[in-house]
């Protein structure tokens, strides 16, 4: 492999002299990057093209995209099936507003997606995972406002949850670093610990103290909490919390932004949880990761709560690009791919390889916990102190991964990999070799 850049040095700000290119210089003077302390960051790596699981840098070297470009790219970069459908759609209809108008790709998407979503009968479109959550929370809260149930103003969520960065989504999230600057301005959310067993006393004793008659909606990441640290928890315990919320008349909101479209063992995590949600949030993999789009799918009962002779009871929410036809076309191509024999085979092979690798490093002296769930691999590294999501230890692991040709974005001491389903054996070999190099070389402090 051609390798001119010392990636570890570049991103850790060491020996930057002479390493800046015209692209990185322009970036340094015009861009403001997400989740980044711009004052002490080194160089933002110039990616000029991508194919499959590989990101090609300006100098001709490549990285394995082991996190599917923030969990979105399920079918590989530059996928020809998505490209073909997008080209056809662009020739037909690029965009039209969705208030007062409809179009074929939105209708076809509803026909094909709704049967896959347990209990859902309506699609409400928006632009990203945070807006999918924002919409879902607003639906739950307004449903009860429309009925005059003014005491139902509380959202119930799990500790350690992550649901996005807009105000409602931030409020539902339990991770300090993402929302601490706005803590005094967020909507009312009550948090309980995730259940680690069907009758985990920590969860159910906390739940008992809450007046569930005030809860409009309960939002959760089904089966595994993502950005909060890849925490898996008990499906039956979750089902029990949901049924208590339902029993008291509130709505259950499944945030499947990370878990949707086959990331875990089934197409949607909600399939394996006995109690079913009333609203499901989708984004990320929805368009195969090529266009920003999100859906908050709702049951007919939720939808009916907005039907009224009073126009003020309509759901007064929308975005310029609601149900953008190009996004819908990419999502349709995504469903074709997800159901295709080829993707099913390569996804199953990825699931097997992740499980094999997890088993092979489980007893490594630097590994505290390691598991795979479907296509997701999680490794919790041992540390002598507690970790923060964006601490310096994490930065070192990130840099070491890049130096080994792998893009990973650890969360504190949690290393995870969720590559595209189309990753080749060769791609995965490089990825696993990089992860082993981290395990063998990271100084545990």
CA distance 401 to 63: 10
Q: Select the residue interacting with ligand PMP from 53, 68, 126, 130 (CB under 6 A).
A: 130
Q: Cβ 439 to ligand PMP, closest distance in Å? A: 25
Nearer Cβ to ligand PMP (35/90): 35
Does the active-site annotation cover 390?
no
Pairing of strands 215-220, 154-158: parallel
User: Which residues lie below 8 Å from residue 316, measured CB to CB, with a gap of 6+?
Assistant: none
Burial of 409 (0-12, 13-18, 19+ CB in 10 A): middle
In the bound state with ligand PMP, the residue whose beta carbon lies nearer, of 123 and 258, is 258
Do 49 and 22 contact (CB within 8 A), yes or no? no
Shortest Å distance, C-beta 283 to ligand PMP: 5
Of 134, 244, 255, 427, the residue at the interface with ligand PMP (CB under 6 A) is: 255
Could you tell me which stretch among 7-15, 59-67, 159-167, 317-325 binds ligand PMP (CB under 6 A)?
Answer: 159-167
The label of the residue with tokens 């119930």 reads 156
Is residue 221 at the binding interface for ligand PMP, with CB under 6 A as the rule? yes
Burial 380-407 (b: 16+ CB within 10 A, else e): bbebeeebebbbebbbbbbbbbbbbbbb
Residue 129: CB minimum distance to ligand PMP, A: 2
Q: Which helix (H) or strand (E) holds 92?
A: helix 80-92
The active-site residue out of 127, 143, 284, 427 is 284
Among 24, 53, 270, 283, binds ligand PMP (CB under 6 A): 283
Q: Give the CA angle between residues 198, 202, 205 to the nearest 5°.
A: 95
Q: Which of 65, 127, 200, 255 is catalytic?
A: 255
24 forms part of the interface with ligand PMP (CB under 6 A):
no
Q: How far is the CB of 411 from ligand PMP (least distance, A)?
A: 11
Query: What's the CA angle centered on 395, arms 393 and 397, to 5 degrees?
Result: 75
| 19 annotated active-site | no
Q: Which CB, 62 or 267, lies closer to ligand PMP?
A: 267
Q: Which residue from 195, 222, 226, 420 is in contact with ligand PMP, where contact means CB under 6 A?
A: 226
**Contact range with ligand PMP by CB under 6 A, out of 126-134, 207-215, 360-368, 425-433:** 126-134
DSSP, residue by residue, 320-335:
TTTT-HHHHHHHHHHH
Q: Which stretch binds ligand PMP (CB under 6 A): 13-21, 144-152, 178-186, 255-263?
A: 255-263
129: contact with ligand PMP by CB under 6 A: yes
Minimum Å gap between C-beta 401 and ligand PMP is: 19
When the beta carbons of 22 and 320 are compared against ligand PMP, the nearer one is 320
List 155's β-bridge partners, or say none. Answer: 189, 217
CB of 255 to ligand PMP, least distance (A): 5
The least distance separating ligand PMP from the CB of residue 231, rounded to whole angstroms, comes to: 12
Respond yes or no: is residue 265 known to be catalytic: no
How much of the chain is in helix, strand and coil states, percent to nearest 5?
Answer: 40, 15, 40
Structure tokens of 132? 């999918």
**Burial class, 288, CB count within 10 angstroms (exposed 0-12 / middle 13-18 / buried 19+):** buried
Does residue 284 have an active-site annotation? yes
CA distance 376 to 234: 17
CA distance 53 to 432: 14
Scan residues 161-220 and list those touching ligand PMP (CB under 6 A).
162-164
Residues at the contact surface with ligand PMP, assessed by CB under 6 A: 128-130, 133, 162-164, 221, 226-227, 255, 257-258, 283
Give catalytic residue positions: 35, 162, 255, 284
């Amino acid at each position: 492999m051609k390798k001119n850049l010392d990636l570890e040095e570049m991103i850790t700000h060491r020996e930057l002299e002479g390493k800046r290119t015209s692209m990185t210089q322009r970036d340094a003077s015009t861009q403001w990057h997400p989740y980044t302390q711009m004052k002490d960051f080194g160089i933002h790596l110039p990616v000029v093209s991508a194919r499959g699981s590989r990101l090609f840098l300006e100098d001709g070297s490549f990285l394995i995209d082991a996190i599917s470009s923030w969990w979105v790219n399920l079918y590989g970069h530059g996928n020809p099936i998505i490209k073909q459908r997008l080209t056809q759609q662009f020739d037909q209809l690029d965009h039209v507003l969705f208030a007062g108008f409809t179009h074929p790709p939105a209708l076809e998407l509803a026909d094909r997606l709704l049967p896959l979503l347990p209990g859902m009968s309506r699609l409400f479109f928006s632009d990203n995972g945070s807006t999918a959550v924002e919409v879902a929370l607003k639906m739950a809260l307004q449903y009860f406002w429309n009925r005059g149930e003014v005491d139902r103003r509380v959202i119930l969520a799990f500790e350690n949850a992550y649901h996005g960065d807009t105000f409602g989504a931030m409020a539902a999230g339990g991770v300090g670093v993402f929302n601490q600057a706005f803590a005094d301005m967020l909507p009312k959310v009550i948090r309980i610990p995730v259940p680690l067993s069907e009758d985990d006393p920590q969860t159910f004793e906390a739940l008992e103290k809450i007046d569930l008659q005030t809860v409009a909606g309960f939002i959760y990441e089904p089966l595994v909490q993502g950005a909060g640290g890849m925490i898996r928890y008990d499906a039956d315990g979750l089902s029990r919390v949901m049924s208590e919320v339902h029993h008291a008349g509130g709505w259950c909101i499944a945030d499947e932004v990370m878990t949707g479209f086959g990331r875990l063992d089934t197409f949607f995590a909600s399939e394996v949880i006995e109690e079913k949600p009333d609203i499901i949030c989708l984004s990320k993999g929805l368009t195969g990761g090529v266009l920003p789009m999100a859906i908050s799918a709702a049951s007919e009962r939720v939808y009916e709560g907005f039907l009224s002779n009073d126009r003020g009871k309509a759901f007064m929410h929308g975005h310029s690009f609601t149900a953008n036809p190009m996004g819908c076309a990419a999502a349709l191509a995504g469903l074709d791919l997800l159901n295709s024999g080829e993707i099913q085979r390569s996804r199953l092979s990825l699931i097997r390889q992740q499980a094999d690798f997890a088993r092979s490093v489980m007893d490594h002296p630097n590994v505290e916990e390691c598991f795979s769930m479907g296509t997701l691999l999680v490794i919790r590294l041992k540390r002598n102190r507690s970790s923060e999501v964006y601490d310096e230890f994490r930065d070192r692991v990130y840099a070491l991964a890049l130096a080994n040709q792998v893009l990973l974005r650890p969360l504190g001491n949690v290393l995870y990999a969720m590559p595209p389903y189309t990753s080749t054996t060769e791609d995965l070999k490089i990825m696993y070799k990089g992860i082993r190099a981290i395990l063998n070389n990271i100084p545990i402090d």
